[in-house]
A and B are shown apart, each in its own frame.
Chain A
């Protein structure tokens, strides 16, 4: 009797934990399953009542259609160019600033750190209006360059934290001995520190890339021509159309979300540190 009770005491919480975990997994995964399932259906089947979970006549037409009948090729190219340029620029300047914050104690350092942090808290809608006017004045409205400049506001502070975190791990003695050997600060930064943190730099570039990739607000406010818009805006516009072709929209969403899904899974261990300015170290 006593033995039975104690097994129940250990089995029951275990079982509850598993049930909870499985429910959470279902909650997380069902929307993705539904997206995948719809993307493989014909348009007629997407409007079947009751809905089917496994497509009766699976087809990849939608995956072809987004490139052929929609301009997904252009959207993808735009998103890639814009996100990559933003990521490289912000990581470069972020690495410089990260090194500065990591290695030097100076007056106003806390203030500057606070400033960089505060810039991450500003809402995008504070900036989009002036951006619209400023970019129009310089002829940069509806250009990729305009969006690259705008995305720096999101990516630069983030890249700075991330790079500072990686540079903090490089022993300062390396810098000292290089300087004893006659190397300048700038020289040792490029020749010694950057090569050591190269993997971290790649991670930072990829994260900044994803921050820019996932945006809708800026693309919506600062671009309009079909040949300038990004993947996210292209998807959002499809929703606004009179007749939504759901299989194609789901295929587009899956393809448009895929770079983010793959890269984040690949980089998840570093994610927390960059987004919390190093307050949480894994």
Chain B
């Protein structure tokens, strides 16, 4: 059997496509169907009951806002620190590869490991952080980083800053290196200050990278699970509970499959909306 070369793409692309439909499409659709199923035993048909109880659930509301806070502060701080470190590493500097590796380290360990190291760092009695900050003179008394209700979310975000900024840095560094040097030289000859150069040369040159970094980072931070699960399991109370850990609990601790599916469907819709510009940009370019 010979296939016209025009149609040979099917042989290459379709196996992966059907595999994805099988391992990903099928469960995804199953999950959507769950979310519309009635929860009472014996009841059939489809209902919006899960979505209605979602709107009434104060825990969902809190978890949703926790996620918004966690993601926006994480992503915002990733962008700022990531850009700052990328710009430093893009300048003339000795031992650049070494600094690059050091700055990448927090990103490469598994989520669980990151969560556990920080749980131990934050330990109010035996942990390193209080000891260090007291020695340096920043703190006078030990602080309960993860159990103080006012601090728990901030502490979690600080860990996530540590964990997530390296990837933004890598993307933006790649972007910075692609900006032609003569643009800066031309701007300097015209008398542009460093700040003006940053606003009119650096930022426009990085626009695409910033879109990519923002989209991917938002998606990853919304999905972030292992870090919180290992470090706080959503506590104290539900102060650091985010949508992914909440959904997990609904599934595997309370066995409310329909309800958990409804939460995850809401998450999916949000994530797809956030990443749409990115998906659009790449599929048009290719």
Contact = CB atoms under 8 A, between A and B. Distances in A.
Interface of A: 17, 20-21, 24-25, 27-32, 34-35, 38, 46-51, 53, 93-94, 96-97, 99-101, 103-104, 106, 109-134, 149-150, 152-153, 156-157, 160, 179, 185-186, 189, 213-217, 220-221, 231-232, 235-236, 239, 246, 249-250, 253, 256-257, 260-261, 264-265, 268, 271-272, 275-282
Interface stretch (B45-53, B144-152, B224-232): B224-232
User: Most A CB atoms within 10 A — which of B23, B212, B257, B272?
Assistant: B23
A185 B8 contact: yes
B28 A160 contact: no
B24 interface: yes
Contacts of B105: 28-29, 32, 261
B203 interface: no
B251 A132 contact: yes
Contact of B285 (A50, A115, A157, A279): A279
Given A106-B9, A114-B279, A279 B264 contact: no
Given A214-B110, A265-B104, A125 B260 contact: yes
A113 B171 CA distance: 21
A118 B282 CA distance: 11
Contact of A49 (B8, B116, B126): B126
Contacts of B81: 24
A185 B8 CA distance: 8
13 contacts: A104-B9, A110-B286, A116-B16, A127-B31, A129-B260, A133-B257, A152-B23, A189-B12, A215-B226, A239-B119, A239-B230, A257-B113, A275-B216
Contact of A220 (B12, B177, B248): B248
B19 A232 contact: no
Given A99-B12, A130-B34, A153-B20, 11 more contacts: A20-B88, A51-B127, A97-B16, A116-B16, A117-B282, A119-B20, A123-B268, A129-B34, A130-B27, A156-B23, A265-B108
B223 A123 contact: yes
A128 B248 contact: yes
A97 B166 CA distance: 30
A187 B118 CA distance: 52
B contact residues, range: 35 or more
Given A101-B286, A125-B267, A235-B113, A130 B30 contact: yes
Contact of B104 (A122, A213, A236, A268): A268
B183 interface: no
Contacts of A221: 248, 251-252
A119 B24 contact: yes
User: Most B CB atoms within 10 A — which of A117, A124, A278?
Assistant: A117
Contacts of A149: 23
Interface string B211-227: 01000100100110110
Contacts, number: 306
B272 A118 contact: yes
A93 B271 contact: no
B208 A51 contact: no
A281 B100 CA distance: 17
B102 interface: yes
Contacts of B15: 93, 96-97
Contacts of A256: 110, 113
User: Most A CB atoms within 10 A — which of B102, B105, B108, B113?
Assistant: B113
Interface in B98-140: 99-114, 116-121, 125-128, 131-132
Contacts of B44: none
Interface in B174-232: 174-175, 177, 208-209, 212, 216, 219, 222-223, 225-226, 229-230
Interface of B: 5-6, 8-9, 11-13, 15-17, 19-20, 23-24, 26-28, 30-31, 34, 81, 84-85, 88, 91, 93, 99-114, 116-121, 125-128, 131-132, 162, 166-167, 170-171, 174-175, 177, 208-209, 212, 216, 219, 222-223, 225-226, 229-230, 243-244, 247-248, 251-252, 257, 260-261, 263-265, 267-268, 271-272, 274-275, 278-286
Given A106-B9, A126-B28, A235 B116 contact: yes
Contact of A186 (B11, B84, B85): B11
Nearest to B268: A126
Contacts of A118: 272, 275, 279
Q: Which 5 A-B pairs have the closest CB atoms?
A: A100-B12, A216-B226, A100-B13, A97-B16, A104-B9
A213 B244 contact: no
Contact of B16 (A93, A130, A279): A93
A168 to B, nearest CB: 10
Contacts of A94: 16
A150 B260 CA distance: 19
Nearest to A48: B126
Contacts of B128: 30-31, 34, 51, 53
